Structure 1
Amino acid sequence: MFFFQKAKLLTLLFLLFSSSYVAAKITPPESTIDNFYLFKEGVLRKDYKKIMSSISSEGLTLYSVRNSKYCLKHKCGVKYSLGHSGDLELETTEEIKDWYSNVFTESLINKLLRIQESEFFYNGSWWATYWQLGGDGGYLIVFDEKNKIRMLYNDKAVIPSFNCSKAGSVVEKEICSDLVLSVKDRELSEEYSFARGVVTGEEFETLKSNQYKFLKERNECPKNKSKTLKSCISTAVDNRISEPGRKLQMY
């Protein structure tokens, strides 16, 4: 459910750079190539300053599984001005450092290690480079108008609703180690935040009470002997979110 198949990843690339977005396979500006390889070197060496030097002054927007599917439908890979926010915005060296292990995953690093040359695509306004990693995911980098890296699509990035570098409990660490759990955690957090902004009075109190009960149940998962930790956490979240539409169960 949460993973791109190879065909969908290739379709994403086709949608981004075909139709109204016609791609011309021409040599990109030197600054685009330089920033890509500066980014690559920074990621491989954990040099946060080099990563910062290669990204847009507006920061680096990360998209993972769910938002990649959104962009597959809406062609927003080269149009971040649509207003659809990413799963994570990194704007400072400290944020890059805190989120490094979640964003720059082992599969991404292994791919960067193997890249000798990268093929770039141009749609008339934006440069991008894309890599398919067999059946194990894909990565898309989109540059801004100044040829700095603006967006990274990584369908292996683990981006829950909290900073994994500060994860303290067994449950939080389990969520940070699993892509599916991280996606579910983020979806629930977004639904809860939205609900807090639209309900009032007795409904608001019910919302908070049910969220407290959910967190208590989820955080007791390490004591559950009948399920694995992952299964217990996943069930707790699923019980809090209804299908279809994955809307928050407020009552």
Structure 2
Amino acid sequence: MATPSSHLPPWLRHRAQVGDYGIEGITSEANHWPCPEPSSCELQPKFQARIAAMARSELVMALLVVVLAGGCCASAGAVAYLSKLPVILDVTASPSPGQVLHAGEDVITVTWALNASQPAGKDADYKNVKVSLCYAPVSQKEREWRKTHDDLKKDKTCQFKVTQQAYPGTGKVEYRVALDIPTATYYVRAYALDASGTQVAYGQTAPAAAFNIVSITGVTTSIKVAAGVFSAFSVASLAFFFFIEKRKKNN
């Protein structure tokens, strides 16, 4: 089998080891060495072009690695852990503990504010606030898809957004329970977000004061009434035909 160096012109064949001279060394040699054979001189520009292309390719790959590494570092820096966030937002929700709310019907009033014990300017870096409904522990048991995780990018506790808006220091929102909220026990949590959207502080209602939401079943009152009427009509029809058949037999 021919080696890569066997394809080179004789005047470069013994210089083909890039590891000895590097790309610049070979290119330099190619520029200054005489061409003992005319056919070799014809190959010299092609060889130089190939070396230059290899150099550009390696440079592009190096830049790509640097960019990807920078992106990974930036992503790693944006990770927030619940256990490390200060609990300095006071959050309230209108439902009383144990109250039953119905999806698509009932309204929840949520308020939030920076805790009065915090120094002025503590929330200077807060750009937005995000309020969510969170599963209470009783509704997380044996349900991996609702599991709590300290890494907030992996956390599945608070899956249902109530609102996200510019941080005003104190705020209030009226939220009608969405139709797609599943039946479960919930509490409310509010996150303060910085300019990058990363959670930097939070507050929540006490899980002990959680309330219940009953999801919509799709069966309205009118459907229930109609089903009852048709059921009664079916029973009456069956009894009537049974009576007619029995009378025919007696006759």
TM-score bracket relative to the smaller structure: under 0.3
Query: Which of the pair has more CA radius of gyration?
Result: 2
Counting helix residues as a fraction of each chain, which structure ranks higher?
1
Counting strand residues as a fraction of each chain, which structure ranks higher?
2
